[in-house]
Structure 1
């Protein structure tokens, strides 16, 4: 596999579009991650060269879906590869049906409904509307968000700055979310009406072209190829 080393947001977009999936940190052996192909000195500098800042730009610009989709780890998925990944990793059943079947937590269902009603809602507002602002409910809130990302029901849509009454930045930015359906439609990602096996075949062919045997084996386990 190519040894990528990048410096700019534009170069990062090119890598994502070429390899299809880019974890933020190492997820698969002998496979790139955003932190492995960028300079560690640039992270958390707040500059336009800061990969940590880019993570919110990718979904906002429609470059890639972003969320904790795999093993509770943050991953960027290109618009081209996303339809196949969704077929393999997400459920064909509506969230309400999965909740009735005991496959989804009540908290996840409630958060999904709020995100569906208000695309781009940030975590501060979401916790407030869900009645989960209390400190002891933070772990449950975070767990429900990870659950919804893992099932590919929601995506990170960007970040929102915390502001004071004068509209000035005041504190850390918070993550904002949209449903996967809303993000996909907004960014013209076609839904694939194909079987899981057909989607797996597409993913297998894609990774076989770019991966070493070691990383191919890891992707094979993740997608059950």
Structure 2
């Protein structure tokens, strides 16, 4: 039991220690008036909440789009669409993140929703691809056995294919979440909010403490989201896998 959870416990402990180290550094640093205002607890909390809202909303939209689409593309009637759909998804992730964010903002306006849409385009590929890979890797003999027992195609999908594909699918979701946390820092360029404001403020005003704090908070938030994803993977993994 401990062996399976050991890595997760160590990762969480490392994140907590890093957060404490950052807190001690901020409390003992010689901060200017601007830095004190920018790094006030209420301000940091507000930026973090905005960052999480942006990330989680984009993640929810990605899941609603990518998982059903991935399932549909593994069904025989729609397999011919696999190549063009993956090509479009690949374009969304292959394009520079800043370019995607700015171009969409010029199209739909500089706002929270423009940032959300750009994040969705950027993170849809891992979930879509892993959903398809997970379903394609299910042993065809198990699927045939289910059909031989009189189960419908839908029943086989939900009772045989999806449970066995869960580990691979969750890996894609975790990858997408980490991508979203990091890329959401760019939302500040189009008035999307989030922790990116600390990074841009630090760069524009040459405030190293603000810059480093923003970068570390984004990194720690990504590590925390990754930890949560690993916990979900561990709990949801079918027994025996």
Based on CA coordinates, which of the two structures has the bigger radius of gyration?
Answer: 2
Shared fold, TM over 0.5: no
- Bin of the TM-score, shorter chain as denominator length: under 0.3
Normalising by structure 2, we get a TM-score of: 0.25
Higher RCO structure, 1 or 2 (CA under 8 Å, sep 6+): 2
